[in-house]
């Protein structure tokens, strides 16, 4: 199903019949993707006066409690409230949900024993393109990302100048297949987060960072229409479901 959408000053033809889900589902299991030293998420039936509320246990409905952390347990979208004293809400600050996006693939560089994504790499991948959102796929890109246990592994991260570059290009929404844009242990400097949201200047309340995505290898680099879906949590971050749509030129 093709749809013609007026986006800014351009008309885009979108193929709505082939949505590309780049989120990682959350499940109550040990092989759920995980970071930040937490136990696995928990999904289990509620209990009422000793009765397990589950159809399997004789109840008329399934009625599960879910315990998880959006930052640690799957695809999530966060606003500047993640790093400010005042906890700004993603639900209050993300008010638009469709964006012109560019998918890029980056091979992290080695720097002082770490793997990093540099400004130079992003400049090469993005070039002169003007996009609202940048979707970063790192390589190697295997299905192990769907169940990786990242705690104490020092994953790849963005250098500060890379985040500054994205901000100065006007990128409002950064999506990446890593647990964080910053180094796992950096003495709470959070250089990339602070640079992207411009916390030392004019804070970009409407800018977001989405972490823990997974872009399948069959998805080619290039231009897409992004639907960034969140749950309406009054919190700095929410589980999210970013969907890409092909643009028919």
Q: Is pLDDT of 200 > 90?
A: yes
Q: Residue 50's pLDDT band (boundaries 50, 70, 90)?
A: confident
For the full predicted model, state whether its pTM sits above 0.85: yes
Q: Locate the DSSP E strands across the chain.
A: 2-7, 10-15, 20-21, 42-45, 47-48, 51-52, 64-67, 76-78, 98-106, 109-111, 114-117, 133-138, 157-158, 173-176, 208-211, 222-230, 237-246
Percentage of residues in the chain with pLDDT exceeding 90? Answer: 93
Per residue in 118-172, pLDDT tens?
999 999 999 999 999 999 999 999 999 999 999 999 999 999 999 999 999 999 9
**First-to-final CA distance of the chain:** 15
Q: Name the class of domain 2-38+69-246.
A: alpha beta
Burial 153-171 (b: 16+ CB within 10 A, else e): eebbbbbbebbbbbbeeeb
- Confidence check: pLDDT of 110 > 90: yes
Q: Rounded CA gap, 7 and 9, in Å?
A: 6
What letter does residue 167 receive in the DSSP assignment? Answer: H
Alpha-carbon gap, residue 81 to 93, rounded angstroms: 10
């Amino acid at each position: 199903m093709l749809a013609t959408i007026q986006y800014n000053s351009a008309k885009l033809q979108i193929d709505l019949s082939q949505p590309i889900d780049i989120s990682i589902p959350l499940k109550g299991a040990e092989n759920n993707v995980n970071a930040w030293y937490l136990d696995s998420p928990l999904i289990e039936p509620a209990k009422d006066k000793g009765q397990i509320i589950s159809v399997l246990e004789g109840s008329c409905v399934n009625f599960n409690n879910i315990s998880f952390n959006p930052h640690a347990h799957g695809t999530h979208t966060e606003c500047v409230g993640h790093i400010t004293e005042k906890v700004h809400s993603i639900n209050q600050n993300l008010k638009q949900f469709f964006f012109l996006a560019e998918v890029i693939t980056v091979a992290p560089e080695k720097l002082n024993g770490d793997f990093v994504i540099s400004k130079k790499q992003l400049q090469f991948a993005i070039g002169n393109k003007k996009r609202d959102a940048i979707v970063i796929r790192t390589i190697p890109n295997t299905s192990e990302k769907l169940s990786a246990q990242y705690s104490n592994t020092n994953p790849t991260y963005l250098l500060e100048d890379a985040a500054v570059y994205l901000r100065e290009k006007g990128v409002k929404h950064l999506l990446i297949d890593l647990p964080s844009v910053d180094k796992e242990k950096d003495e709470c400097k959070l250089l990339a987060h602070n640079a992207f949201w411009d916390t030392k200047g004019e804070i970009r309340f409407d800018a977001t960072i989405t972490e823990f995505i997974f872009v399948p290898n069959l998805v080619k680099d290039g231009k897409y229409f992004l639907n960034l879906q969140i749950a309406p949590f009054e919190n700095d971050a929410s589980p999210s479901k970013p969907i890409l749509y092909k643009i028919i030129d």
